[in-house]
């Protein structure tokens, strides 16, 4: 089974997720600058989630790049990841409309945590399908980012009940960790060619 | 006519269907855990429909893989399938918002039944277009899953009027039957290569 | 300029148009069969528009199949067509919610007429870009369907003010004319190969 | 890294942006011509934004056509552009529902300005990645359109507070400048082949 349709379907779902979130930013009735003020937390939530979906799309792109073929279990591991990501518009909306209250912040973190877990499972399925000498396995290496992220998520979820802003800081931190360009896969691919 | 655009269009429609369903999960006004409680049936409906669309995408992927070219009748048989699947967000929403009452449960089953019928018709069109020695025909074989599913749908639709949960159990059962990896097409393709 | 992205973008827009229309079918609050009754005209409108978008996608697919390369003017002629088609969810919603009243029926016809005109202009741009011996020109031939459709649209628009049902009959008639498989392009392509 | 998925994802996002804007045109309750009147500014806003997204898609198509491979920084520069474009449905809705008042007109211009800046940054990233003899660099040349547009945006944003219509005129002017076919890239590609 070739991977073309898996990529196309994932691109479609991610493109829709990233775009329908903007529908949560409801057009205000007034036409003054002050009418935009209640939208600030909603806009900040949108920005954070946009970056998260962007990171997932980017990493998904790199990960699938190492795969030649996909098996049935990879298809389902991918759908599992898309399921958790599909809930991001909902938790983004809840977080934004409630000004970063405890419960919405915690739920946002739980969905991020589940998405990270689903990503990890997808990664494992692809590595297993590639057998020994898996390019992806080499590229992932010790996977420090992948191991730190869920820990920060867990701490942030707990911190939600102390302060929504503290939890938000944790989610921003993970996003920043991943925004730093991930040269691993590009480097390994290059080495493999040499 | 090549099949590239048929796959791209179907992927697009399925990606949108699977994603817009999440818009039915309306962001609650409160920010407590109890504010999420009314959303549980809506979430469960979403989960079930997500899995169904995933199964259809997966099987569609495998089925089209066996086809080299598509004729006009295949294009329309495919649109017919997409039509019934496009109604799934509506029936999912109705089912979720009414806590699995009789009529919404029955309608959900009717749409699933019509989608299954449309899938069967599409399968037939592709087999006919492949002529004798159709790879898809070999792969489908006795098509036990394809024959059992509509029977369970029919029983579940009738059972809706006894108990919504009974009907729901039937729909979950069919999903589970299909989630068990379908090795048929992969196996036949392998045999053909040997 | 290759045509790959033109097709991908058009597929995306058409897939979204055909799917967001279903959002107009609002989930009713009640859970009885009678709660679905007000949705019947909305459902019929959806069905008709689904078939129209399907026909456009199908014909677009065939038309682009004859084109090897696309120039800037073809890109814009295509966007012009997508613009009118993008209004179909709106006019479908208006028509459905107003039980086929005069003005919504007329506006539906006007949008169909403009889409047909845009399709004709796109067809001309592709034929001109192909120069003499245009495959598409041969395939289109006398373009009887393409000439009859706008006439029926015009009559139906006028008929809207007598009876919404009469106009609706006209729109259904045009859809039926196009649903009859269009063998022209497939035939010409075959002849060209011989 | 090949550019296929970058194009597919961008096409998906742009296709969704261009299409969900139509959801802002809410179906009116009445069925008379006069019920459409309040929709005129919303429709005009939609038309302008449709053309802008069309221009961006068109130019994006041409720009990426010159790129063979894309690096990590190009992926993020592209997501940055998509972020600003994703806000267009929101500012379009605000502008349309407030009949071209000062603040919505200014915000529309600010989003257009940021999108233009993001496009410029993406262009720079691709030129840098192509090294010397960059085809895109030759094609862009003095980039007069690219330099005039932000100036007109800035003037229009300021003009919003005098007259919304004046600002609107500025945005229409920029759209017209870009609608004039941009032969630069096509010409340079041709010269390169010779």
pLDDT at C159 over 80: yes
Return the structure tokens found at B53: 């669309």
Question: In this structure, are residues B139 and B130 in contact, taking their beta carbons and an 8 Å threshold?
Answer: no
Average pLDDT over residues C113-134: 91
CA A51, A57, A60, A61 dihedral sign is: negative
Distance from CA of C181 to the nearest CA of D (A): 28
| Chain A, window 96-125: residues with a beta carbon less than 8 angstroms from a chain B beta carbon | 97-98, 101-104, 107
Helical axes D4-20 vs A40-65, angle rounded to 10°: 150
Average pLDDT over residues C147-159: 96
Query: Pick from B5, B83, B90: which is nearest to C25 by CB?
Result: B90
* Local confidence pLDDT in tens for the 194 residues of chain A: 678 889 889 999 999 999 999 988 999 989 999 999 999 999 999 999 999 999 999 899 888 888 877 888 899 999 999 999 999 999 999 999 988 999 999 999 999 999 999 999 999 999 988 887 888 888 888 888 889 999 999 999 999 999 999 999 999 999 999 887 656 666 666 666 65
The pLDDT of residue C134 is: 82
Q: Is C15 on the interface with B (CB under 8 A)?
A: yes
Closest CA to D15 of B169, A70, A109, C79: C79
What is the C-alpha to C-alpha distance for residues C43 and D35, in angstroms, rounded to an integer? 23
The pTM of this model reads 0.91
Q: How many Cβ atoms from other residues are within 10 Å of residue D140's Cβ?
A: 22
Cβ-Cβ pairs closer than 8 A, A with B, add up to: 79
The pLDDT of residue B67 is: 83
The pLDDT of residue A115 is: 98
Average pLDDT over residues C28-50: 94
From residue A63, how far is each of A51, A67, A77, A138, A186 by CA, in Å? 18, 7, 13, 12, 10
Touching B (3+ Cβ pairs <8 A), the chains are A, C
User: What's CA A103's distance to the chain center, in Å?
Assistant: 20
B13–C18: do the CB atoms touch at under 8 Å? Answer: yes
SS3 C69: strand
pLDDT at C185 over 80: no
Question: In this structure, are residues D53 and D18 in contact, taking their beta carbons and an 8 Å threshold?
Answer: yes
Q: Is B25 on the interface with C (CB under 8 A)?
A: no
The pLDDT of residue A185 is: 62
pLDDT tens-digit profile of B35-45?
A: 999 999 999 99
Cβ-Cβ pairs closer than 8 A, C with D, add up to: 80
Residue by residue, DSSP assigns A102-146 as HHHHHHHHHHHHHHHHHHHHHHHHHHHHH-TT-HHHHHHTT-HHH
Q: How confident is the model at residue C99 (pLDDT cuts 50, 70, 90)?
A: confident
pLDDT tens-digit profile of D61-83?
A: 888 888 877 888 899 999 999 99
pLDDT at C73 over 70: yes
Contacts of D7 in chain C (CB under 8 A): 5, 8
pLDDT at D108 over 90: yes
What ipTM did this prediction achieve?
Answer: 0.89
Q: How many CA atoms lie within 13 A of C110 on its CB side?
A: 12
Q: How many CA atoms lie within 13 A of A126 on its CB side?
A: 27
From residue C2, how far is each of A37, C8, C86, D64 by CA, in Å? 45, 11, 24, 12
For residues C133 and C118, which has the higher predicted lDDT (pLDDT)? Answer: C118
pLDDT at B137 over 70: yes
The pLDDT of residue B131 is: 82
Instruction: Locate the chain C residue with the closest alpha carbon to B13.
Output: C15
Question: In this structure, are residues D60 and D178 in contact, taking their beta carbons and an 8 Å threshold?
Answer: no
Q: How confident is the model at residue D193 (pLDDT cuts 50, 70, 90)?
A: low
pLDDT tens-digit profile of B2-49?
A: 788 898 899 999 999 999 999 889 999 899 999 999 999 999 999 999
The pLDDT of residue C182 is: 58
pLDDT tens-digit profile of D138-192?
A: 888 888 888 999 999 999 999 999 999 999 999 999 999 988 765 666 666 666 6
The pLDDT of residue D182 is: 58
Q: Is C126 on the interface with D (CB under 8 A)?
A: no
pLDDT tens-digit profile of D116-152?
A: 999 999 999 999 888 878 888 888 888 888 899 999 9
User: Which residue(s) pair with B83 in the sheet?
Assistant: none
Query: Pick from D1, D73, D97: which is nearest to A27 by CB?
Result: D97
Q: Is C5 on the interface with B (CB under 8 A)?
A: no
């Amino acid at each position: 089974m070739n991977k073309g349709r898996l990529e196309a379907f994932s691109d479609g779902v991610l493109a829709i997720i990233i775009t329908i979130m903007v529908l949560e930013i409801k057009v205000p009735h007034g036409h003054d600058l002050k009418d935009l003020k209640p939208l600030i937390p909603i806009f900040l939530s949108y920005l954070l989630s946009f970056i998260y979906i962007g990171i997932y799309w980017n990493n998904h792109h790199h990960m699938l790049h190492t795969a030649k073929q996909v098996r049935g279990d990879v298809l389902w591991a991918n759908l599992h990841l898309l399921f958790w990501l599909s809930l991001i518009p909902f938790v983004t909306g809840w977080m934004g409309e409630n000004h970063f209250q405890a419960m919405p912040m915690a739920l946002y973190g739980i969905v991020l945590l589940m998405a990270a877990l689903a990503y990890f499972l997808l990664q494992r399925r692809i590595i297993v399908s590639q057998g020994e000498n898996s390019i992806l396995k080499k590229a992932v290496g010790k996977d420090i980012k992948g191991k730190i992220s869920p820990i920060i998520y867990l701490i942030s979820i707990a911190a939600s009940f102390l302060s929504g802003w503290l939890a938000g800081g944790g989610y921003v931190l993970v996003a920043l960790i991943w925004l730093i360009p991930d040269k691993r896969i590009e480097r390994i691919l290059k080495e493999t060619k040499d």
